[in-house]
Amino acid sequence: MQHHVEVFCQGKGTFTETRFENGRSISRIINQGEGFFVESDFSSLEEAKAYCERKLATDASLIFYIMHGKDIIDYVQNDTYQLAKEKKENRIYTAVSTIFVVLLASSVSVFIMPFQAVIYHAYFISGMSAFYLLLHSTGGRWNLDNVVVVVFVLIIISVTVPLLTE
């Protein structure tokens, strides 16, 4: 087994990188942030995993990287907790970004679109929101590109509609 195995506890601002060198995947910590190495060194990977599992029993939010030298050889986390946390963060991002798109589409609709009835403004705003949600559902999590696409579409609409209504 490995000798001199260390355990690193991830903290705010901890960033890792995985890349291929000489045909094998290598993961390393590129920014330690508020993360820290635990006090003791471990003689084997199994001993380090057991320590991490004991710590996870008391705090499910922790993420541990088991390291040999500078290389991350394994990680230990509570997958259920991390998945629930990620889903919650994604819901919050989706709600906030959709509200932004709705407000932006509302302002474009009210100030630029020459609609005579309020229902057409509602259709326009709903259509832009649905377009954004469609992009968001295919773009993955925390994808700011979708918001940028909707902003560009609204800018194009803002420029072309006044030219077409003259």
Beta strand 5-9 with 36-37 is: antiparallel
Task: Give me 56's structure tokens.
Answer: 């996870």
Beta strand 63-68 with 5-9 is: antiparallel
Evaluated on CA atoms 60, 49, 43, 3, the torsion sign reads: negative
Low-confidence stretches of the chain (pLDDT < 70) are 1-3, 166
Total of domains in the chain = 2
User: What pLDDT shows up at residue 23?
Assistant: 84
Q: What is the pTM of this model?
A: 0.71
Residues 107, 132, single domain; the answer is: yes
> Half-sphere exposure (CA, 13 Å, Cβ side) for 61?
3
Residues 141, 159, single domain; the answer is: yes
Per DSSP, what are the bridge partners of residue 75?
65
Q: What is the pLDDT of residues 41-83, one digit of tens each?
A: 788 888 899 999 999 999 999 999 999 888 888 999 999 999 9
User: What pLDDT shows up at residue 1?
Assistant: 43
Q: What count of residues does the chain have?
A: 166
Domain of residue 17 covers 5-77
Boundary of a domain, candidates 77, 98, 133: 77
Boundary of a domain, candidates 77, 99, 134: 77
Alpha-carbon distance 85 to 49, whole Å? 22
User: What pLDDT shows up at residue 154?
Assistant: 94
Residues 9, 38, single domain; the answer is: yes
Residues 63, 107, single domain; the answer is: no
User: What pLDDT shows up at residue 3?
Assistant: 55
Instruction: List the end-to-end C-alpha distance of the chain, in Å, as a whole number.
Output: 77
Residues 61, 12, single domain; the answer is: yes
